[in-house]
Structure 1
Amino acid sequence: MDIDVFASARAGGWQRLEQLAGTRRLTGAQADELVRLYRQGATHLSLLRTNAPDPELVSRLSVILVKARSRIASPHDLTWSQVLSFFTRTIPAALYRVRWWSVITAVLGVLVAVSAGWWTASHPALLASVVPPTEQREIAESAFASYYSEYPSASFSAMVWTNNAFVAALCVATGITGIYPAKVMFDNALNVGVMGAVMHVQNADWVFWSLILPHGLLELSCVFVAGAAGMRLAWAWLVPGHRTRRQSLAEEGRTTIVVVVALTIALFISGLIEGFVTGSQLDPWLKIGIGGLAFVGFWVVVFGLGRRAVRIGTDPGLNAEEQASLIPVAG
C-alpha cells in the first residue's frame, strides 16, 4: 500500500467527518452522512493498522474517529454489563497502574510516622513544645477515645467520609504540581506519629492502637494511594516517554479519575467502620479483625483483580477506540 496515495485519496472524507463531528447541530441528512463516513473511516483505520502502521496518520485518524463516535453514541446507552466491567475491571486496573507508587508512598509515610513518633517520644521537651503535658493527659484519658463516640454513628460516618474523600480528590486534582500530595502525605504521617508518641508517653498504647487500626488501615491506604496517584500524574507530565505530554497527561488523567471513584467507595467503607465499629463496644480484637479484612480486601483488589484486569487488556487511560488504534512503537 502506498500510504501517501491512500491518505490523499481519502483526506477529503476524513476532513468532512471531522467537520461533522464538530458541528453542534446536525440535520437528518448530516447525521446519516456522519454515520456513513464514520464507518468508512473505521475501515480505513483498520487497513492502516494492518498494512501501513504509520503512527502519525493512525493517531490523526483515531482522534477524528473518537470525536465522531462521541457524537454518534447515545449518552444513555449504559448497560449493566458495562457497569459490572467498570467495577470488576476498570477500577482494579486503575489501582494496579499506581500500585508501586502507592507502595512506595505508604512505606515512606510509615517511616515518617514511626520516626516522628520515636523521636518525639524520646525527647519529652520536644513533645511538650508540640503538645503541652496537660493536653497530653487529657488526650490519653478521654479526648482521643471520645472523638469516636461523641457523635451519632451515621452522622460521624458521613462527616468522616466527606472529609477524607475531599482530601483524596484534592490530592489528585493538585497532583500536577507534585507538591500538595507530598505535603498531605507528610503532614498526615507526622500527625499520626506525634499522636502515637503522646499515647505512648501516657501509657495508653492499647487505646491508641485499638482505636486507630479498625478504620485506619483502610483509611491510610486510601490516603497513600491518593497521594501516589497525584504524584504519578505530575510524573506523567514531566516524563511522558514515547507519548506527547498532552497525550500522557490525558491518559493518566483518565486513570486518576477512576482512582478517585475507587477511593471514594473505599473511604465510604472506612467511614462506616469508623462510625459504627471503631467507637463501638465490640471486642477490640474483633474491631481490629474487621479493619484487617477491609485492608486485605482493598489490596487484593489492587494486586489481584488489578493484575488480572491488566492481563486481559484493560487500560483505564484509554477508551475502546483508542485501544484498538494502538500500534507497537520502539522503546
Structure 2
Amino acid sequence: MTDRVYIRPIGLVPGPQSEHGNAIRLAGGMVYASRFAVILRREGQVAERWLAAPDTIAEAMGHLPDTVAADAEQQWSNLTIAHPPLEMGARTVRLDQPQVMGILNVTPDSFSDGGEFMDKPEVQREQAAGMVEAGASIIDIGGESTRPGAKPVWEGDEIERVVPAVEMCAAMGAAVSIDTRKAAVMEAALDAGATLVNDVSGLTHDPRSPEVVAARGCPVVLMHAPGAGDDLHEGGDYSNVVFDVFDELRNRRDQALEAGIDASRILLDPGIGFGKSLADNLALVNALPLFHALGHPLLLGMSRKRMIGALSKEEGADQRLGGSIALAMRAMDAGVQLVRVHDVRETVQARNVWRGLRDAALTDFADLPG
C-alpha cells in the first residue's frame, strides 16, 4: 500500500487582517493563505480529504497515517519558507515579490518568434536592452526550440547560437539564464556570463548536466516534462496530473540534491504545455499554490502558449497578449516568484499594479476594532 500526502492551499486572501491573523504568508511572498486541503492519496486515488485553517492544521494532520506524517509536517513548514534572493553574478533577484523573466530566442523555429533574432546581433541587442529597461529581472536565452515536433539541435550549433547573445546581455549588466538541456551548452553559456541554468528536462536529458550545475554552484530551474528522450512532449499519461507532476518534480529535486546541488539553488517549474492537454494545463494552473509545499521558488512559463489559442478562437501566437497577461496574473495570485514572458513591458506594468493592490491590502482593515 502506497500512501502520499499533499497540503494544498485552497483559500488565498490579500492580507492576514481579513482572517483576523489566521493566515500564513505563502512562500515568503505577497500572498496569504487561510484555508488548506490535507489530501491523502492511496494507490493513486484520493482516499481522504480534510479541510483546515492554520489554527486547525495540526488536528487535520493528526488523521494521517504515520507513514506520511513527517512528509506532511515538512510540507506545512515548506509553505511558509521565505526564499533568499537569487545571487546572479553582480545582480541580486529578490524572491519576496513576483519577478519577470524575459525570453530571448535565438532559434530559427521558435513557435512564437522563430528567426526574428537569429543571426541578427543588433536586433538581439535592441530586444534585450528593451526588456532590461522595461523591468525584466532576468533574460532567458535559448538556442533550441522545444515546441512539439521541433528537431533536436546539435550542441555545437546551439553553443554557436547562444554564446554571443549571452556575452552581449552579460556585457550590458543583465542577469542571464541559459535555457538548455545539454551540459556542454550549459558550460559554454556559464563561461560566457550566464548565471542560471533553465533546463526543460529537469536535468534528465544529459547525464552530465547534474554534475555541471553542482560544480558551478549556480541556480537551476528543474521543469517537468514527461518525455525522456528528444521529444519532451511524449508520454503525457497521468492518473491525476496535479499530483503526478508534484511527485515527479519532487523526484527530480531529490535527484538534484543527490548530485550535490544545494537546495537553496533549486527552482521548480510544472512545465505548462509540455506533454499536457488543455485540461491538464488548466488543472495545474488552478493548483499552483500546492507546489510551494515542495519548498522551492517557482517559475512559470505560459506566455503566448497554445492553451491561450485553444481558449480564444485559435488566435495565433502573436495575438495572445491578453491571455498571457491573464495567466501571469494568475501565477502572481498563486505566489509564483518568476514568470517567464515574451511581452516584458506589459507584464511588468501588470505586476506593478498587482503589487500596489497587495501593498494597499495590508492596511485595508487597519481601522477595524480589535
Range of TM-score over shorter length: under 0.3
TM norm structure 1: 0.23
- Bigger relative contact order, structure 1 or 2, given CA contacts below 8 A and separation 6+? 1
Q: Which has the larger radius of gyration?
A: 1
TM norm structure 2: 0.22
